[in-house]
Structure 1
Amino acid sequence: MLNSLMLDIIFKLLINMKETSESVSGVETEANPTVDYSDSSDEEDFRNTIGNVPLHWYDAYDHIGYSLDGLRIPKISKKEDDIDEFLAQMEDPNYWRTVTDPQTGGKVVLGDDAIDVIQNIQKARYPNSDYDPYPRYVDFFTGETATMPVCDTSLTKRSFIPSKLEQQKVRLLVKAIKARKRLKEKMGKKPSKRAFYDLWEDETPKPLSRSQQWRLKMHLPAPKMKLPDHAESYNPPAEYLLTDKERKEWEEQDEYERRLDFIPKKYSSLRLVPAYNKYLKDRYRRCLDLYRAPRKKKMRLNVDPNDLLPQLPKPSDLKPFPTQLSIVYTGHQGPVRAVDVEAGGRYLASGGDDCTVRIWEVSTGRCLQVKKCAEPVHGVVWYPGGKLTLLAVASGTRLLFINAGVGNKQKVADTDTFVDHLWKNFSKDTDWQLPSDEQDCFLLAINHGKTISQVIWHVSGDYLATLAPGSGSSTILVHHLGTLKTQIPFSRTKGQPRRILFHPTRPQLYVASSRYLRVFNLVKQILTKKITTSVSCISGMAIHPKGDDTVIGGMDGRLNWYDMDNTVKPCKVFRYHDSCVRAVACHGRYPLFASVSDDSTAKIFHCTVYNDYDKMPLIVPLKILRSHKKVETVGSILDCTFHTTQPWLFTSGADGVVCLFTHLLVSMTTAVESNKGVKSPLSLLHEICGKKGLTPVYELLTSQGQGSDSVFVYRLCIDSVVATGKGKSKKIAKQNAALNWLMMIVEQGNHRDWGISGQTPAEAKQFLERLVAHKDDEQGGLNSDGSAKPNSACVNVLQQYCVQRHYLRPVFTEEGMCGAQHDQTFFVSVELGDYKKTGCGRSKKLAKQNAAHLMLDFLYNTPEEELNASLLIEKVEDSVMNMEFRKSFELRSLKVNTINQCEIAYDSNFSLEAFKNMDLINQIPTDVHLGLFSAICNELDLDYAMSEMLDNDKNVVLFMQIRSHPSMVLVGSGKTLEEAKLSVIFKFLIALQQELA
């Protein structure tokens, strides 16, 4: 028999299918009521009148409902016994499909359709076997254009007429928006917040006072208690439990020093946790916090932290600046206390505790001179301006004047003459001393009472000052070199002076003591400014070349930047060093300054000072340099100075070495040599006008001639002084105008007011004449000894040299540039295999020529066997397979032609005698040159090889090598390969005619 759930499903399906089953037995009631069978389609199969109601409602009763007459319909109980059930099972063939109707109690024999439905449900199929879940889709509307429409319903009139109802709704919405009313009917009301009120208060509302309103408005809820962490758990992790050592430390600490106010404990279960003995104390503290602790409404700004940081440029945009170690100068046997570079930038002087002063060549690192002194050297400075090779050396308690004896021989002689002239003013009453016969390393000497820690020159070269701490009123002395006299500017000094400096443009002396910086006017002899610094003790000081800013370093490792004209407080404070700052230096031409410290680091900063006083200077940290070792009781880096013309930094350390940091790994000799006379009259004029705040005005008067015969005339006007200059180019004309203007200032005797070097007009004129550097960039070729002329067309010579010897092609690369916009220096490198040389110049072309010149000098001075091992390509025919050769030459094709590969044969009766008399320019057409060339190769049995490349202008450059003895190399160019080929063949024909003639 089937279960009741299956029966319910079956009967519902039978009702829906409207199949009538034959009743096996009728239903007889106890009172034989008249049964009213309903004609309703929903209940046509029912044999009682109780309706389609659940029968479990009557489980507790002895009837199953009521008839139409209101009589009870008793339950029918025709339960057969087991025997009857067994007989029916054995005799009745429809027993297996017979079910009992739960409402009528009769037996119903299921038909075949019902059996199929039951079997389909048991097998998880669709009940109806004829149901197709995936009917065939009929595509009425296809992509194909039909002749007749599928539906031809005409459009209604209302589809073309705007709806008046919609217009009315839009009109109401527009009116509501204009009146700023909210459509509550459409939008709905916001749910009102739950209101709390006092049940016992008088219902009549009373107006609140201002204090009450303010109290309600400014009400601040109490802060929530801090949530417990893992340490307060009854079973905390092991890392939160205190060890015996930590417990002992916790007990020894005061209550306010403890991180936790309890000792974490661990229990195996929660029922073992004892009562909390600090509960009342915690509640009391919480009440105190709520009652006594004030609450404050804190306004927070929604600001991005990145917006608060200053917008600084990238260090890569601020090049050039020192980035890498280039040369190490070794030779001192102890700490090097002082270094200084001469005005030309070619020589470096250093002094140290080994009682020696060493003169170095900057470009090579070679020690040129060693001057022995009696005591350790604490200061070395060159004579300013570069006119003399005079050194001021602070050795112990004496100030020595030494002739370096390097460089221009005329300058060396001028230095001796200058000192000989000073001897005429020598007096035995002074502390100045002349050298004895045994002491010939110095020219003059000045005795001091104490050890001299610093010596400085004035920019004019007439005065120099010394600092000897502990000498009382003689701590700071000013020496006049012209009269050999010494002055004591201060009768007494406040504090202990540690550093002194002359102002670069004003008659002022900066004196830095431990905490104070004082500025004195030497003309008026008054104190003009006093600054209280924020460093613990001043250890280094430098003045910006413009003179308006000062950098101070302290023993606590801090750097302070002061604007001397606007404020007495530091504009910038840097805390980048971990130890004492030993020295600070500012570059004279580039916006750079550096600081060195005992932490073995040298830090490079970019500093741009604006002419606008309301604008703060731009200072950007650029690079941290490390090279020196720290020595106990002495320190690490003791002094630093910048190169005069290049963005290079020199540092001297306690490890006895001097290091040079540069921005490029370039040839030092070329870089230094290229700056001889680098300050042109135009750049000097612009520098002077910048300090004066004036702007030079150039006006083109005339321009005559064309091409190479052009002549330009410019007029220059500055501060009512007018000068003119002419030249073959506008640049030369401006240079001559600037030079003539400077000469007019010198002739008027105002050169010192304008900052032109020289004591007398004759010296100033001589200084201007040395600025003019005439360079011949147009002459090319080789010298008689085979070496290349400098600044000549060395690029073509180098390429021809490499082609003739089957070397790799030289590759030129731009390395960078440095300098101001009107005075830039370019760097270009040339690579030939594993060899690399770098040249520099005032233009890219000149830098490229200098690089080629250096490479040629290297090739001429290197044995040919060594070059052939790394640069030579043995067979040109095999070079196509050589990837290095292909990359070097950038070949697009490489052909080795013989007479059998020639494209055109000129004439079988060709002879060299006839060729000697040919007019190749006027009589022989260009298109015949190729056939003529083929005939010559056949006659002389010559082979040739061609290789092509592209230059910077995308023109084809063709190299042709003739296999003769000696071999001949020719170069031709053109916009196409055919033009270049005809060009090089024509050159060969001309050269061959000249050779035969």
Structure 2
Amino acid sequence: MVLATQNRKRKAASREEPALPPREELANGNLEGILSEGDESDDSEEVEFDGEDEDEEDDEDEEEQLDSDEIPSEDDEQDIRDQLRNLKTTDSKRSTNAGADEDDEDLKPNYTVTTDANGNERYVYREIDPVYDSDDSDAGDAKNTIGDIPLSFYDSYPHIGYDINGKKIMRPAKGEALDALLDSIELPEGWTGLTDPQTGKPLELSRDELEVLRKLTRNEAPGEGYDPYPDMVEWFSSKTEIMPLSAAPEPKRRFVPSKHEAKRVMKIVRAIKEGRIKPWKEPSEEDQQDDDVQRYDVWADETPRADHAMNMPAPKLPPPGYAESYHPPPEYLPDALERKAWEQADEEDREREYLPTDHSALRRVPGYEKFIKERFERCLDLYLAPRVRRSKLNIDPESLLPKLPSPDDLRPFPTVCATLYRGHQGRVRCVSVSPTGTFIASGGDDGTVRVWELLSGRQLYSVKLSSEEAVNAVKWRPTRDTLIIAAAAGETVYFITPLALCSPEIEQASKDVIDAGFGYAAKPATTNAGAERKIPSSVWSRPESQKLQDQGVLLTCTMRATIKVINWHRRGDYLSTVSPAATSTAVAIHTLTKHLTQHPFRRLKGIAQTCSFHPTKPLFFVATRQSIRLYDLQQQKLDKELKPGARWISSIDVHPGGDNLLVGSYDRRLLWHDMDLAATPYKTLRYHQKAIRSVRYHPNSGQYPLFADASDDGSLQIFHGKVVGDSLENALIVPLKVLKGHKVTGELGVLDVEWHPREPWLPGANALRPSATTMSLNQYMNKKILIITVDGRTLMGTLVSCDQVTNLVLKDTIERVIRPQDDPEESSETPHGLYMIRGDNVVVCGLVDEAMDSSIDWTKVRGEVIGSTKHVSNQTTGHLGRYIKVTITATAQSAAERGRPAPWDEEAAADTQAALRPLPVPDT
């Protein structure tokens, strides 16, 4: 095999043949026996192989790499050579015959010789192909001769026209989708993707035509070698000639006037002399009135063309002001400093481009040097600055606001400060109204709990619970059969019964409720044998001080941490307390009749802030700093969790209906939760400037759908919150009033607020001043009322106006004198059966009925009475502090009709002013 490889010779070069498939190139992978020594010895026979010949060194390397099984045999090699020789011979013959046929066609004549009927030779020429190559080189090969007729005329026929011989040209067959896909993949030469409208076949263009189209699309010259911008050849000025190109002398006609022009001029002159040519003159009226001449306005029927829909007119220049006048007012003329500052400033920093100048007359105004520049800049702005059409929304702002009722239609609600309760030293931290609405209990930093009469502001009861701790919470027991106050000072809850304010029946019922727990606590508790006794979290006992027991403090409950919040259950047997400083014992539920304390939560997520009972269901609300959880006490499970979204919750209150929750936070947010909607707030109100301390619903929400909040900014905000029983309608919230007057001390304002159980009155606790009761006098507007003054007079009249703090104005007023030593209840001159309300230091004794009006002595009428006021009850005068002005007006006509005397004289006025001296502060 090595010898056969060494004797192989380099083969002669041959033309390229089509590449064989890989399977044929390697003979289907069977290489055995294709090479033999006999074939190598035949030097005279040349065999051509497909592809390029390789060098002998490469052949030898390949042969050495072959295994014995891969060496081809001599028989297979002979077969391959025979096949290649036959293939080469066939291709050579085919190409040779093809070239011979073409040459023969060119050499053969275009006719044949036949014999006609007479036996003579006849030349029959071949049929001429009717093409126009020789006649018109620009005309295409028109195979369809239908002309300019649209091809759509043949839509209903199987053919598309006729050829030169009048034969039908059948409609070409349309390929299927697969053919179209193959055509798009294998693009033939000259493919354009268009269809010939004459033949219906694909339109193919030659390479030259495609090149012309390409040049036209690129704005290039279509002709080959054409230069549209050739270099200019200066034929006459490129070379300077020494001698002129023509040395012929100038002809005489260049210097002699033309005779032909002279004849033409003389002909015109003669025509003017003869009158045949007349100069132009203005047409006369007769000529203008010539009927044959039709005169009309060419543009009479022209109508102005409407602007385009997107046309945007240029903005107009602003009208000139007084400063641009040639004789401006003196205040518009700059002084020396302003002129100097304007001159030294840069042009871009100047407010205006000119300085106002005064001229005595318009004719003395010089030319404006910057006129052309300003006009040029104006033109630049007109055509360079883009214009944008601003789409203005023609929407009434009122239509975007919710349709809320007027606050005047939602009366009554608190509008004025009616009563001040003075007596606490320091801050007043909490207030609470008794279930009957007669008394108010308050607690402050001085460690005392004080009970006030709601209408008069008179202090009725006071007890000092602690000298070191402040009273943080005060709540009345919500039952009318007892009179019990729960007050928290430090770690102790005190249960107080004001003995001086109770009837014997109520006093005994209150003591029975408090003492019932001692009998329950005396029963032995059942414990497992050997079990360690747990230390109780609370201690129920009598007060250690006998003085406190004599003052009505009948029971104490001591906890482990400071108590901040107290809330009663609606039945009065349970109350809950919150101690934020504690952990597992932060929330406690106490049973008053059993002296029992329970902690429902072993572990509470977050720090407890406040809690509340549901008004109608066995549900319990617990509020941490950022969440509120609602627990079912009967089933002992978590019922719902609310996410107010506030940073730090300060207080909560449940609507009397039980489906809504009011939340106040230290980040100035007032949140209304509709628990039937979602866990997120239904409304978020943020009207205060500082933290919200307390929020409250009105207990009688059916008659007074009101709620209020108290804030550190010293204001109370009153809202109307109507809740409908229909679940398809949401709650209606309307802001009503902002009550101001509380002072802010040490960043603290109003600390607590609570509603009267039956009236729209709102007591609030202030950080500086004592608690104040705010009530509405608007419901008594334009009605007859009764006022008792400080000097013991009773004023009756029609309330026509009032404000929050200072004035009450009465119209058509009568006055009746009541001596201070007289008992008002036994005096025949004092009206009976009148419901009393209280203004700011003014006792307003309700409406005057017709029977009382008829019994009034109208002869005692006074006008312009100014006086302070007090409440007269059992000959006791309460401390009133500052006074307000009561203005009483009576018209002269009404006084004359009823026989009223004239207003007071100076002596009566002096007596009235003397009665306004401040009263001494009574001992509390």
| TM-score class normalised by the smaller sequence | 0.3 to 0.5
TM-score using structure 1 length: 0.42
Structure 1 or 2: larger helix share?
1
Greater relative contact order, per chain length (Cα 8 Å cut-off, separation 6+): 2
Larger Rg: 2
TM-score using structure 2 length: 0.45
